[in-house]
């Protein structure tokens, strides 16, 4: 009985989401001048007026729809523009990043990842594959908590201090024996990454993997992404690592420059100075 009720609830929610999308699409493509009355929308969609009214109130609450009180009409809301700009920004970031990532792959032969923050997670926005046969396989669009692995720690270390403090108060999920789950240890690692300007990790999300990553900044100095390489630990020769780190940092700096960054990062760590830092294990 409980399973049946859960399925019915899920179907009802899905139907509501689909109808809300239909309302937005009707305002965007079918209403004259992009706006319509409650009755006009209900007629266009073939839905009861009370149903469309409830959908409009929900969409209005989230600024996806805006009501003109004097004319009693509805049009698309300002938050859709914000969401659209985010999509556009991601597309611009990917377009600028891919040539740089391709050069990094040529230099290192390793898989290159462009990672962006999304809440408390890092998401792979782009992957350019290397020429090595033995690889660490990651999935485009995969979401992983920011405290795991170089590609995500290189972002977390440069987030505003308030965000970092909020993050470490949350449970830190363990994925391997090398995942850092102690808040104070994580804070120290993030401070080191911030001072040295890059992250190097070993097996924090996938066992026996190595990651090297550096942050990417936009014009105002906010971190928006990271560029890095991920590869099997057996190829992490001590003689090879410094060259890989230099190549990754150069790629991240080039992408930051293309995004308008000119070298000033708002301080997340009071009293921090440039340092060679320490590797995260």
- Asked if 66 and 105 sit in the same domain, the reply is no
- Asked if 54 and 131 sit in the same domain, the reply is no
Asked if 204 and 217 count as a contact pair (C-beta separation under 8 A), the reply is no
Beta bridge partners of 232: 209
- Asked if 92 and 65 sit in the same domain, the reply is no
Q: What is the pTM of this model?
A: 0.70
- Asked if 26 and 151 sit in the same domain, the reply is no
CA quadruple 221, 222, 227, 233: dihedral sign: positive
CA 25/CA 175 separation, integer angstroms = 41
- Asked if 128 and 185 sit in the same domain, the reply is yes
Quick: pLDDT tens for 108-164. 999 999 999 989 999 999 999 999 989 888 888 888 999 999 999 999 999 999 999
How many domains in the chain? 2
Domain, as residue range, for 190: 86-258
- Asked if 163 and 106 sit in the same domain, the reply is yes
Average pLDDT score over residue span 212-232: 94
Dihedral-angle region of residue 55 (phi above 0 means left; psi in -120 to 50 means alpha; beta otherwise): alpha
Residue 242 or residue 277, greater confidence: 242
pLDDT band at 274; cut points 50, 70, 90: very low
Report yes or no on 230 lying in a domain: yes
Sheet strands (E) in the chain: 35-37, 65-68, 73-76, 111-118, 121-128, 143-145, 199-202, 209-217, 223-232
Quick: pLDDT tens for 26-74. 999 888 888 899 999 999 999 999 999 999 999 999 989 999 998 899 9
Packing angle, helices 183-196 and 161-168, rounded to 10: 150
Asked if 158 and 268 count as a contact pair (C-beta separation under 8 A), the reply is yes
Percent of the chain with pLDDT over 90: 65
- SS3 sequence, 42-84? HHHHCCCHHHHHHHHHHHHHCCCEEEECCCCEEEECHHHHHHH
Query: Is the pLDDT assigned to residue 19 strictly greater than 80?
Result: yes
- Asked if 13 and 110 sit in the same domain, the reply is no
- Asked if 118 and 184 sit in the same domain, the reply is yes
- Asked if 56 and 96 sit in the same domain, the reply is no
Packing angle, helices 49-61 and 38-45, rounded to 10: 110
- Asked if 240 and 222 sit in the same domain, the reply is yes
Quick: pLDDT tens for 157-187. 999 999 999 999 999 999 999 999 999 999 9
């Amino acid at each position: 009985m409980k399973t049946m009720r859960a399925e019915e609830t899920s179907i009802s929610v899905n139907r509501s989401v689909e109808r809300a999308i239909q309302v937005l699409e009707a305002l965007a493509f079918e209403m004259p001048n992009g706006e319509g009355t409650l009755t006009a929308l209900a007629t266009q969609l073939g839905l009861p007026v009370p149903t469309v009214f409830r959908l409009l109130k929900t969409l209005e609450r989230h600024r996806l729809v805006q009501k003109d009180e004097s004319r009693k009409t509805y049009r698309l809301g300002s938050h859709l523009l914000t969401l659209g700009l985010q999509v556009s920004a991601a597309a611009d970031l990917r377009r600028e990043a891919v040539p740089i990532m391709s050069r990094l792959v040529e230099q290192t032969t390793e898989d290159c990842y462009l990672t962006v923050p999304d809440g408390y997670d890092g998401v792979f926005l782009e992957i350019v594959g290397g020429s090595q046969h033995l690889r660490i396989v990651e999935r485009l669009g995969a979401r992983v908590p920011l405290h795991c692995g170089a590609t995500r720690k290189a972002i977390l270390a440069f987030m505003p201090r308030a965000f970092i403090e909020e993050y470490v108060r949350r449970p830190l999920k363990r994925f391997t024996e090398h995942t850092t789950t102690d808040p104070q240890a994580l804070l120290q690692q993030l401070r080191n990454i911030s001072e040295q300007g890059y992250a190097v990790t070993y097996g924090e999300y996938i066992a026996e993997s190595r990651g090297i990553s550096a942050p990417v900044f936009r014009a105002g100095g906010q971190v928006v992404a990271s560029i890095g390489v991920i590869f099997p630990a057996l190829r992490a020769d001590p003689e090879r690592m410094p060259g890989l780190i230099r190549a990754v940092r150069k790629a991240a700096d080039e992408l930051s420059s293309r995004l308008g960054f000119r070298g000033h990062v708002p301080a997340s760590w009071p009293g921090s100075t440039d340092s060679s830092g320490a590797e995260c294990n």
